Structure 1
């Protein structure tokens, strides 16, 4: 290893340590103010939502700090290389950073009881399906970008909910297809919302709402609102530190993959964010935000109040791809599928809280999770897989039925997408 590479690796390790410290400190601040407020709201209203939604950045940091994540990354890289060599995929996935989504799901399975060998099989299955999905979506990405010669695609886990969205899209066409004639101008809507849809503003709204519901003094309401707004901004900043921390690893692996497949005609797998210029994503997320809060308050089995993940970037990209940018359709389907995300966030909270506390030996933090974490179906399968590993016949049956349904639904979706892709030829 050269001196430059070594210094970058050391700097990355230090940045990761700083990011972890920042996350834990910010969660501690959040716990001090937010946990009593949520408890007060539960006493006053009977609505008990004790889990704080911290968004993606803390969870990504915790996942990358886990030693098994590098093992799962290695499995993903090997599978990608094998599938490329055998021509089973045309996607070279250089989005190394976002392997954390698959790793998180695998760690959740292990936390709930799955042995390592079974977890590796689960990881391999997800990676294979993600790469197939990247190929299936490529013509749609070209259309959405207005660039038929684009090389960009993505295997991001948030698109693995496409099969379910496709089912809901077909039902929408049968029952409410006429609403497409009244679709809205997404760009104009975003301009009207402006600051009102920012992280800081949303933190203020949630703080005021929880404070008033808990009948806190006005000074406490103001403190809560400002604290939530501040922590949302801090989580975003710390997410940038974390991304920089793992950049030496991801860049090194990306360079190696590019060297191996130099001269090949391949699609390039990137983060989902190359679609972030599409205004429909943000318009739909802004409309879904208040809907999500209402659903969280009334949904049986939910334990999380949306906050850090309330701008639902784990939800809207799949809606954009399947509906091809019809905003009203995206909102209706998104509202129907949001309970899956809330349930998955509630179920994964014990694991996330335990992992965060164990990382630094801090066991006084409140329960944390993410309300719109990508891959809710995969998280539910991970929990079932872990629980079935103990030999409980009920959970074994749930896991078998769930996995078979998951694979059959993906096979149907793949057939529909291949037929749809012929429209672009």
Structure 2
């Protein structure tokens, strides 16, 4: 997610030596902080240029790839900004119109990212993340080159929550590192389905928010497949679109849902039609911006595959790890998300014991759905139903973490949050992976050790899978 305003990010505090000058570590961390503060639209072209050159691609091709990726990110940022700017006020009107009151309002992922980067764990997260990725590539425990450095904040947020809960920065750093390892592996495992059902070849999504929902996606889709009657139901969005003709196209879907949400919010005719057109534009433009970004990635992805095959034998297929924004334009993703925006508010009010009122982060629900699509094998009904039950779980997880969320925010930025009362966010305050680390850390180092054992087991399994795939690719090349 990359529509974050940089003035909301407060850099971490670096320790200086007694003489007042910076240590070598301070200089290194300051450099990574500077890179992070550039934002993805500037950072990604630089990274792609350097990566392309390092992988042996010509300068001109690398430069064009980097610039194209940067333009794609800017385009996606503008359109997702329109999405959030359109839904946010509508949700605010819903809350005011129906007098909804819960004690922990969703303040949004922007605040979560600020808290993550301003935390002590956030100070170290970029060098830690890069090191983890390199080590995993060399040990063949991942197939992903994760260039989505900006979204390392999700891992830092997990670490900040664990540190606030346990009081140990080392447990926080360990949690952040293990979170990344597990997410990287899940990104590998879902990449083939991402190519088949989402139309994103050569891409994986090691995204700390989107990929955290993979276990729920497969769990609920598996349950649906076991229920008599439902197991045979298939709702193919592409077939629906073909049968409905123009009324099944994304532009009409966005218009209809925008009008419905506007009516629920109590907008006048002008507001309703404006919201409808805005959401119609989002559903049309997001896939086009994602396609532009993909165009820039192809030369670097191809160069990465050749480079790895030459230098790391038995490494299998290589994926470029990206922000899951590249996948939110899928019709299933956006349609499911728009249905669940008003539903999530209704759930928040009706669920007993829930404290979290979805608000600022309702616009990020599409990010949650990207990997539900391969889990559901492209089926709309399975994606929607799985997402519905996942939202219920998210609200209760968010409720469970409210107090620790506030504590972490106050520790990172006391000036902004000390007197703010209770608050949360759907992203990442209701992130299932963050919640799992939060609860396991209650067992101290034993809990972190259990997670580490799970991570190691996943890494070993992934290594065997990667080597097997590489051998099969080699055999196929020989046979050809």
Tell me the TM-score normalised to structure 2 length. 0.58
Change in Cα spacing, 1:404 to 1:172, as seen in structure 2 (3 Å) is: farther
In the other structure, the counterpart of 2:184 is 131
Q: 1:310 aligns with which of 345, 348, 362?
A: 362
Instruction: Using the TM superposition, give the Cα deviation of residue 106 of structure 1 relative to its aligned residue in structure 2, in angstroms.
Output: 1.0
| Equivalent residues of 1:314, 1:374 under 8 A apart | no
Q: 1:122 aligns with which of 167, 175, 183?
A: 175
Q: Does 1:156 align with 2:186?
A: no
In the other structure, the counterpart of 1:380 is 435
Aligned residues: 340
In the other structure, the counterpart of 2:156 is 103
In the other structure, the counterpart of 2:145 is 92
In the other structure, the counterpart of 2:319 is 267
Instruction: Using the TM superposition, give the Cα deviation of residue 298 of structure 1 relative to its aligned residue in structure 2, in angstroms.
Output: 2.1
| Equivalent residues of 1:161, 1:377 under 8 A apart | yes
| Equivalent residues of 1:305, 1:371 under 8 A apart | no
Q: 2:339 aligns with which of 287, 309, 315?
A: 287
Deviates more, 1:302-311 or 1:92-101: 302-311
In the other structure, the counterpart of 1:212 is none
CA distance in structure 1 between the partners assigned to 2:222 and 2:414 by the alignment: 47
Change in Cα spacing, 1:313 to 1:78, as seen in structure 2 (3 Å) is: same
CA distance in structure 2 between the partners assigned to 1:283 and 1:180 by the alignment: 16
Please state whether the residue corresponding to 1:309 is helix, strand or coil. helix
Change in Cα spacing, 1:146 to 1:165, as seen in structure 2 (3 Å) is: closer
Tell me the C-alpha RMSD between the 2 structures: 4.8
In the other structure, the counterpart of 2:3 is none
CA distance in structure 2 between the partners assigned to 1:354 and 1:74 by the alignment: 25
In the other structure, the counterpart of 1:191 is 251
Show CA shifts across 1:234-263 (max 9, x none). xxxxxxxxxxxxxxxxxxxxxxxx999993
4+ residue runs over 4 A deviation: 8-13, 181-184, 195-198, 204-208, 258-262, 354-358, 399-411
CA distance in structure 2 between the partners assigned to 1:10 and 1:179 by the alignment: 46
* 1:213-224 mapped onto 2 (5 Å cutoff): none
Q: Does 1:339 align with 2:383?
A: no
Instruction: Using the TM superposition, give the Cα deviation of residue 182 of structure 1 relative to its aligned residue in structure 2, in angstroms.
Output: 7.4
CA distance in structure 2 between the partners assigned to 1:134 and 1:328 by the alignment: 23
Show CA shifts across 1:83-105 (max 9, x none). 11122222111110111111111
Change in Cα spacing, 1:344 to 1:82, as seen in structure 2 (3 Å) is: same
CA distance in structure 1 between the partners assigned to 2:455 and 2:132 by the alignment: 18
In the other structure, the counterpart of 1:371 is 426
* 1:164-175 mapped onto 2 (5 Å cutoff): 164-175=216-227
Instruction: Using the TM superposition, give the Cα deviation of residue 401 of structure 1 relative to its aligned residue in structure 2, in angstroms.
Output: 11
| Equivalent residues of 1:93, 1:270 under 8 A apart | yes
In the other structure, the counterpart of 2:283 is none
| Equivalent residues of 1:101, 1:374 under 8 A apart | no
In the other structure, the counterpart of 2:197 is 144
Structure of greater relative contact order (alpha carbons < 8 Å, 6+ residues apart)? 1
Instruction: Using the TM superposition, give the Cα deviation of residue 267 of structure 1 relative to its aligned residue in structure 2, in angstroms.
Output: 1.6
Show CA shifts across 1:327-351 (max 9, x none). 1111111111112211222233334
Change in Cα spacing, 1:103 to 1:366, as seen in structure 2 (3 Å) is: same
| Equivalent residues of 2:157, 2:428 under 8 A apart | no
| Equivalent residues of 1:345, 1:371 under 8 A apart | yes
Change in Cα spacing, 1:155 to 1:276, as seen in structure 2 (3 Å) is: same
Gaps of 5+ in 2: 1-26, 40-87, 242-246, 276-301, 310-317, 470-475
CA distance in structure 2 between the partners assigned to 1:178 and 1:330 by the alignment: 15
Please state whether the residue corresponding to 1:87 is helix, strand or coil. coil
Gaps of 5+ in 1: 14-29, 43-47, 209-220, 230-257
